[in-house]
Structure 1
């Protein structure tokens, strides 16, 4: 049996939910209960040994889980706090478990890709504990080496699990992730409302997640990050101008895809590599735009869509400088025009960009220069 198959998760769902004033595990979030979301998260990530620790309203939770392949562990000492539930869960783990997650049920928006990154990092660099880190803040869930079971079970409980794990900070593994869900819990009704708002746009990265992906996860050079930021500003302005005249473009999708369109710029065939990464992260709509930001085949009669907007915006920005399409492609031909194949590719890309530019100008009622000037993009620094 591989180490990956010996992984477990302990989901903590024993509390009273006093600050929420409603029972958190069974609150409905996007058509599913919070508990179902957390269980589904681990099944999606390939973790099959799932243990749910109950306490308050134990029978209600047990009934809600009858159709799911999980083990229910009742903690009769749940009044003693969360650490008692941690101990109850650990006491049921197999003796040969290689590692295990500990996941409070009220943190339901962690993504499967985040768990995959933790498991991959743990396998490459074995550590006592691996944490997901978003924007330099540790979040949940930690992935804990099975060898720490005895240390946790013998811990007196002072300061909870966090205090025990801090003993191993010198050798702990911090895994940078572009997933703010690792920090989003639901202690209060206001917290839960924020989760609902985030879930509504969870099919694309937030601005902060885009920044963290580029700067801290991928660690890309500053000029490339600034270029993507500039392209996102231009793409957003184009999309909004079209929508102001009756268009129905998804501005948020345009902005997020443009913000990370060069996320794999240092790799061969970076458009395909970037699309593959975003698809693996769980963002197929963003991946589709990134996949064709270098080459696209629009016709004058085809509807203007988000992918065309991102493509055009990328061609209007050289580095962080706004340029006309003529300037952009004249420079390309001067550099690569001696190669017939490269020259043909440049010509095709220019024709595509001109087609899209014509559509934007017709739909917005403005030239590209007027549009960007109205939006303040020409004067704005990256």
Structure 2
């Protein structure tokens, strides 16, 4: 059995929303609490949450959960700095990890089943990147083998891990994850979440 950790990125300012989207209510709790509960229910161990812009407001929401909270003081430089903070922290506390999954706090339809499917595909194939695909997009949640940890630490800007997916496109295995198409960037996105639910 492979040891796979999970990093939830929740450091952004949510400038398009105009308020901390991590604290929006979904199924009776905040988006960040919901994301953490899903992560804990998966087979991923450990779970690391990277905070930044609204750390003081968000931290009390997840203090009670068995997760490692990491603060990214450089969150304004883009998503790559949060990935770096998460990878550095998870490597230090768990040096024998085989891989990590990078996930976002604002994809509320993602379930633990999605994370477990990523891990199962990794165990069956050994591909160094297992990514979600939806609407002709290849993205997160995505699993990265530990042989890519040093490269994840060195990516820069707001591209996130997409640059690595491009660099190793021949070694990326994708699985269809329609739920990943829903991410909450604007008030309109949030309103649509409840249509028909």
Provide the TM-score with structure 2 as the length reference: 0.91
Q: Which residue is 2:40 aligned to?
A: 43
Q: Shift of the alpha carbon at 1:59?
A: 2.0
Normalized per residue, the structure richer in strand is 2
Q: Which residue is 2:173 aligned to?
A: 173
SS of residue matched to 1:92:
helix
Aligned equivalents of 1:87, 1:152: Cα separation in 2: 6
Aligned equivalents of 2:20, 2:32: Cα separation in 1: 11
Aligned equivalents of 1:135, 1:27: Cα separation in 2: 25
Deviations 1:277-327 (A, max 9, x none): xxxxxxxxxxxxxxxxxxxxxxxxxxxxxxxxxxxxxxxxxxxxxxxxxxx
Unaligned runs of 5+ in 2: none
Q: Which residue is 1:317 aligned to?
A: none
Aligned-residue CA RMSD (Å): 1.7
Question: Per the alignment, do residues 158 and 17 of structure 1 end up closer, same or farther by CA in structure 2, a change over 3 Å counting?
Answer: closer
SS of residue matched to 1:43:
helix
Q: Shift of the alpha carbon at 1:167?
A: 0.5
Higher relative contact order (CA 8 A, sep 6+): 2
Provide the TM-score with structure 1 as the length reference: 0.48
SS of residue matched to 1:141:
strand
**Residue 187 (1) aligns with residue 185 (2):** yes
Q: Which residue is 1:149 aligned to?
A: 149
**1:238-257 to 2 correspondence within 5 Å?**
none
Which of 13, 27, 32 is 1:30 aligned to?
27
SS of residue matched to 2:84:
helix
Q: Which residue is 1:124 aligned to?
A: 124
**Residue 84 (1) aligns with residue 81 (2):** yes
Question: Per the alignment, do residues 125 and 158 of structure 1 end up closer, same or farther by CA in structure 2, a change over 3 Å counting?
Answer: same
Deviations 1:325-375 (A, max 9, x none): xxxxxxxxxxxxxxxxxxxxxxxxxxxxxxxxxxxxxxxxxxxxxxxxxxx
Q: Shift of the alpha carbon at 1:156?
A: 4.2
Deviations 1:73-110 (A, max 9, x none): 00011111111111011111122211111112111211
Question: Per the alignment, do residues 140 and 197 of structure 1 end up closer, same or farther by CA in structure 2, a change over 3 Å counting?
Answer: farther
Question: Per the alignment, do residues 59 and 186 of structure 1 end up closer, same or farther by CA in structure 2, a change over 3 Å counting?
Answer: same
Q: Is the contact between residue 83 and residue 160 of structure 2 (CA under 8 Å) also seen in structure 1?
A: no
**Residue 99 (1) aligns with residue 136 (2):** no
SS of residue matched to 1:22:
coil
Q: Is the contact between residue 38 and residue 105 of structure 1 (CA under 8 Å) also seen in structure 2?
A: yes
Aligned equivalents of 1:170, 1:54: Cα separation in 2: 32
Q: Shift of the alpha carbon at 1:14?
A: 0.8
Q: Is the contact between residue 83 and residue 153 of structure 2 (CA under 8 Å) also seen in structure 1?
A: no
Unaligned runs of 5+ in 1: 201-382
Deviations 1:250-299 (A, max 9, x none): xxxxxxxxxxxxxxxxxxxxxxxxxxxxxxxxxxxxxxxxxxxxxxxxxx
Q: Which residue is 2:71 aligned to?
A: 74
Between structure 1 and structure 2, the one with the greater Rg is 1
SS of residue matched to 2:96:
coil
